[in-house]
Amino acid sequence: MMRNHLSVIFLPTNKCNVNCEYCFEDKTADRMSLDQLSTVTVKLLDFVDESSISSLTLHWQGGEVMTMPVEWFEQAHERISALAQARNKRVDHGLQTNMIAYTPRWNRIVKEMFGNSVGTSMDYPNLYRKMFLGGPDDYTRIWKRNIQAAREAGINVGVISVANRETLKVGAESFSSFFVDELGITDFQVNTPFPGGEQNETKRDLELENEELSRFFLDLTDIWVERGLPEGVKLGPIDQLVAHFTGEPSCLPCIWQSNCADEFISIDARGFVAQCDCWVTSYPEYFFGNIFEHDTLSGLLKNSPARQEFVARPAAIVDKDCIECDYLSLCHGGCPVRTYTMRHTLLEKDPYCQLYKSLFRHTETVAARLAGARVDRTDFRKALTHTGKGKSCGSSSQITAAAGWQTPLLVQLERRPRKLSA
Amino acid sequence: MNAVTYNIPAHLFDSYQGKSVIVRSDNPIDLVSYLSQGKLENVLYVQLTSIKVDPDPLVTWASALPIDVLVRNPAGEYPFLYNFSKLLDKHPVRISIPVKRGFVKAVRLALALGFSVKLEVGQPDTSLIAEMAEVLDLYIRRSEVSQPVEYFHSTFLSFFNRKQYPNLWFVQEEDPEQFRFVTNEGVETVSPRFGKTNWEDLKLILAARQTQSTLTEKAECDSCKFLQMCGGFFKWPNQEFDCEGVKTLFSRLNLAAEELHDDLVSFQESSEGLPA
C-alpha cells in the first residue's frame, strides 16, 4: 500500500542516445507502444481507485525520452488525459531528459504536458557524460546550446548535477559559478554518485570520501546563503533542508523519505516494475514483477518478495545506529540503491551517512542564523519554493497533512507539513 | 468534557451507540468492519491495540477518525511503527507508549515519523525517570520534534499559559469520573491504576477521603507545588511512591515554559519599533 499520492518513475523507452560512463541503467532498445501505455495507465488508475490514493504523477524519463517521437507524446498525453478524465482523476507529468535531442518541435508538448518545465542533468566538470561519438566536451557543448534554446523558448530548465572527484577539486565556488553565473541556471540540485548497473573502470572509482564531500556541500551551502538565496536561486537539497529547519514547507528528496517504498515505483518500457529507475533497468533480481503479466498492480506489489525487502528496510536497519541519530526524522537510513551498489546489501545505512549528518547539522545552524537575522519572510519563502525533479513530493495542491491529534480541550502544536510541494 | 467516555471493544460498538466511545481492537479489519455499522459522531478515536498487524485496512478506510496505536512492548516492537506512517496522510495518529525499559527508542521513532505520542506512565523507578528525562529533552529541545508528547505537552502548556488545564487524570484518560474501560466481556471498569477496585467501591473510598482533589493522596501531595497539575496521579496505586523523580520532570517543564515565556517577551520588546 502506498501513501496518499503515487509517483511513478516512468520509462517509455529503455533506449538512450548518449554513452555516459557512469550511467546506472543497463540500456535496451525496448520502447512502449501506445496501446501498452493505455494498458499501464488503466492499471495505474485502477490501483489509485482501489487504494484511495488522491493523486498520481508520472515522472517521464528513460533511457532518454527524446528518442521517442514528439507525436508519440502528443498521443500519449491525449490517451492518459482521456482515461483519467473518464474516472474524474487528474494525472500530472514531469519530464527528465538529457536535452541532447531537443529541438523546438518539443516546445508545444513540453508546455502542454509538462507545465513548460524540464529537468535535465549536467556535471561540473563533466567527466563522464559522453556522446557515442565524441567526448565530454562535445556533450557539454550540445547540451549548453540546447538548454539555451529551450530557455529562450520560455521553458524552465532545472538541472541535476552529480558530484565527482573533479567537482571536489575545483570546489564549491567554481561549481556554483558555472551553473548560476555562466549558465544562468536558477534551479539545480546536487546528487551523490553511486556505481549502479554493469560495472566498469569509471564506476569502480566513483564513490567519494564523505569528508571531502561534506566540505564541498558545506561550502556550497554558505555560498548559496550568501549569494543564491537573496537572488532566489533554488539549490536542492540545501534549500529544502534550510526550509525544513526554519519550519517552512519543504520537499526533501526521495533518499530521505521515511520509506521510499511507500512513495513511488518505477515502470520501464518492458512493463517491469521496481523501486526506482536504477532497479528497474539494472537489477532483475529486484523486479517486483511485470505489469503486463499481472491483472492488477496491487496484486503485483502485494505478492512481490522483492518489494517486501524494500518495505522492510527502514525497520530492519533502524536499531543499528539510526535510532540514536538526532536526524532520524530526516533520513531513516538513506537511499537503498546507494547502499546496495556500494555495500552489496540493502540492510545497511546509506554509505553517505556522514555527509548527510554534516549537512543536516550545518543547514540547521544556518536556518537558526537566518531566522535570527530576520530575513525578509516573503522573499525567503519564495526562494525556498522548489520545483526540481527527483523529489517524491506530489504535484501542486495534492498533498495535505492530516490534522494533528486533538486531545480534548488542549491547544495542539501545529504539525509541520513535510511534504508540501511548490 | 463532562460525559463519560467508554473505551470499548469493537464488537460492542453497536451497544454503545449514542455514548462517547473510544473503540479498540487488535485487528484493523474489525475496526473498519464494526464501525461501518453505526454512526461515528460519538467516536473520540479508534485504538489499535497491536502493532504487529497490517494497517492497510485503515489506510484505505474512508473515515478520517483519529487513530491511537498502542505499542505494548516498546523496546522490541518499535520498528513496526514504520508500517504506520502512511496512516498520517489520512488520519491524526497518536502512538501510546508504556513507560517500560527501552521505551525511549519507540518515542524517538514515533516522533521522527511525525506521530503524536502519549506516555502510558505508571509509577516510574529511577531508571525509567532517566529515560523520561531523555524524552523530555527531545520534546523540549529538538527542532525535529513537531508533535506533542503527553503528558509533557499539556503540563508545559499549563505552565506556559499560567492557566490550569485538566490534571493528569484527564490528560492520561484515566479519570474514573470521565473514562471507563469496558473489558472484552463487557464488564465496565476504571483505570487499571486502581487495580481490581471496582467503580462503585472506588466512589465510596474517594468520597470518604474528602480531599482537595478527589483522587489526591494527602501527605506528600499537600506540600507539592505541582499538585494542581498532577492531582495525585503518581500516588496510585502505591501511595508510598516517592515522587522525587517525577517532580524533577515537572520542574524542568516549568523552567522550559518560563524560558520560552521570557524569550517571547524579550523578542516582543526588541521587535517594537521595527517596521512591520
Q: Is A388 helix (H, G, I), strand (E, B) or coil?
A: coil
CB pairs under 8 A between A and B: 116
Interval B6-47: pLDDT, tens? 999 999 999 999 999 999 999 999 999 999 988 999 999 999
- Alpha-carbon gap: B134 to the closest alpha carbon of chain A (Å): 12
Q: Scanning the structure block, which residue is given the C-alpha cell 487528474?
A: A90
Structure letter (DSSP) for residue A232: T
Judge: A404–B142 Cβ closer than 8 Å, yes or no.
Answer: no
> Are B270 and B153 within 8 A, CB to CB?
no
Tell me which chain A residue has its CA closest to the CA of residue B134. Answer: A324
Interval A89-133: pLDDT, tens? 999 999 999 999 999 999 999 999 999 999 999 999 999 999 999
Residue A207: φ, ψ to 5°: -65, 135
Rg (Cα) of chain B, in Å, rounded? 20
Tell me which chain A residue has its CA closest to the CA of residue B158. Answer: A410
> Are A55 and A5 within 8 A, CB to CB?
yes
> Are A206 and A22 within 8 A, CB to CB?
yes
pLDDT for B192 equals: 80
Tell me which chain B residue has its CA closest to the CA of residue A244. Answer: B144
Q: Rounded to an integer, what distance in angstroms lies between the CA atom of residue B78 and that of residue A318?
A: 10
Q: Looking at beta carbons, which residues of chain B come within 8 Å of A250?
A: none
Interval B177-201: pLDDT, tens? 899 999 999 998 888 888 777 777 7
Per residue, the 3-state secondary structure of chain B, as one string, reads CCCCEEEEEHHHHHHHCCCEEEEEECCHHHHHHHHCCCCCCCEEEEEECCCCCCCHHHHCCCCCCCEEEECCCHHHHHHHHHHHHHHHHCCCEEEEEECCCCHHHHHHHHHHCCCEEEEECCCCCHHHHHHHHHHHHHHHHCCCCCCCEECHHHHHHHHHHCCCCCCHHHHCCCCCCCEEEECCCCCEECCHHHCCCCHHHHHHHHHHHCCCCCCCCCHHHHHCCCHHHHCCHHHCCCCCCCCHHHHHHHHHHHHHHHHHHHHHHHHHHHHCCCCC
Please name the helix (run of DSSP H) or strand (run of DSSP E) that holds residue A282, with its range, or none. helix A277-282
Q: Looking at beta carbons, which residues of chain A come within 8 Å of B69?
A: none
Q: Which of B83, B92, B142 sits opposite A403 (nearest CB)?
A: B92
Q: pTM here? A: 0.89
CATH superfamily placement of domain A5-358: Aldolase class I (3.20.20.70)
pLDDT band of B263, cuts 50, 70, 90: confident
> Are A207 and A218 within 8 A, CB to CB?
no
Is the pLDDT at A171 greater than 90, yes or no? yes
Contacts 24+ apart (CB under 8 A), A293-301: A296/A43, A296/A46, A296/A47, A296/A50, A297/A43, A297/A44, A297/A46, A297/A47, A297/A273, A298/A46, A298/A47, A298/A50, A298/A51, A300/A273, A301/A265, A301/A273
Q: Domain locations in chain A? A: 5-358
Judge: B147–A415 Cβ closer than 8 Å, yes or no.
Answer: yes
Is the pLDDT at A257 greater than 80, yes or no? yes
pLDDT band of B237, cuts 50, 70, 90: confident
- Alpha-carbon gap: A136 to the closest alpha carbon of chain B (Å): 42
At B53, the amino acid letter reads V
Judge: B64–A402 Cβ closer than 8 Å, yes or no.
Answer: yes
> Are A280 and A288 within 8 A, CB to CB?
no
Interval B57-101: pLDDT, tens? 999 898 999 999 999 999 999 999 999 999 998 899 999 999 999
pLDDT for A376 equals: 44
CA distances from B19 to A166, B5, B49, B182 (A): 69, 7, 21, 13
- pLDDT above 90 coverage of chain B, percent: 68
Mean per-residue pLDDT for A353-362? 98
Which of A73, A67, A137, A71 is CA-nearest to residue A102? A67
Which of B230, B22, B116, B173 is CA-nearest to residue A409? B173
pLDDT band of A11, cuts 50, 70, 90: very high
Q: Rounded to an integer, what distance in angstroms lies between the CA atom of residue A352 and that of residue A54?
A: 34
- pLDDT above 90 coverage of chain A, percent: 82
Is the pLDDT at A288 greater than 50, yes or no? yes
Pairing of strands A289-290, A272-274: antiparallel
Judge: B88–A1 Cβ closer than 8 Å, yes or no.
Answer: no
Mutate to test the interface with A, among B89, B141, B173, B268 (most CBs of A within 10 A): B89
Length of chain B: 276
Q: Which of B62, B89, B157 sits opposite A402 (nearest CB)?
A: B89
- Alpha-carbon gap: A316 to the closest alpha carbon of chain B (Å): 7
Q: Looking at beta carbons, which residues of chain A come within 8 Å of B80?
A: 315
Q: Which of A259, A323, A402 sits opposite B90 (nearest CB)?
A: A402
Please name the helix (run of DSSP H) or strand (run of DSSP E) that holds residue A350, with its range, or none. none
Is the pLDDT at A87 greater than 70, yes or no? yes
Q: Rounded to an integer, what distance in angstroms lies between the CA atom of residue A207 and that of residue A338?
A: 10
Judge: B64–A259 Cβ closer than 8 Å, yes or no.
Answer: no
Q: Rounded to an integer, what distance in angstroms lies between the CA atom of residue B154 and that of residue B116?
A: 13
Judge: A408–B44 Cβ closer than 8 Å, yes or no.
Answer: yes
Q: Rounded to an integer, what distance in angstroms lies between the CA atom of residue A174 and that of residue A172?
A: 6
The cell numbers describing A200, all together, are 566498469
Q: Looking at beta carbons, which residues of chain B come within 8 Å of A330?
A: 144
Q: Looking at beta carbons, which residues of chain B come within 8 Å of A319?
A: 79, 105
pLDDT band of A373, cuts 50, 70, 90: confident
pLDDT band of B276, cuts 50, 70, 90: low
Interval A221-230: pLDDT, tens? 999 999 999 9
Interval A177-189: pLDDT, tens? 999 999 999 999 9
Q: Which of B83, B143, B165 sits opposite A364 (nearest CB)?
A: B143
- Alpha-carbon gap: A146 to the closest alpha carbon of chain B (Å): 40
- Alpha-carbon gap: B13 to the closest alpha carbon of chain A (Å): 21
pLDDT for A389 equals: 35
Q: b/e per residue, A304-343, with b = 16+ CB within 10 A? A: bebbebbbbbbbbbbeeebbebbbbbbbbbbbbbbbbbbe
pLDDT for B236 equals: 86
Cα first-last separation, chain A:
25
Please state, rounded to an integer, the average pLDDT across all residues of chain B.
90
Helix axes A238-246, A353-372, angle to 10 degrees: 50
Q: Rounded to an integer, what distance in angstroms lies between the CA atom of residue A155 and that of residue A135?
A: 27
The cell numbers describing A159, all together, are 538541472
pLDDT for A375 equals: 42
Q: Which of A329, A412, A414 sits opposite B144 (nearest CB)?
A: A329
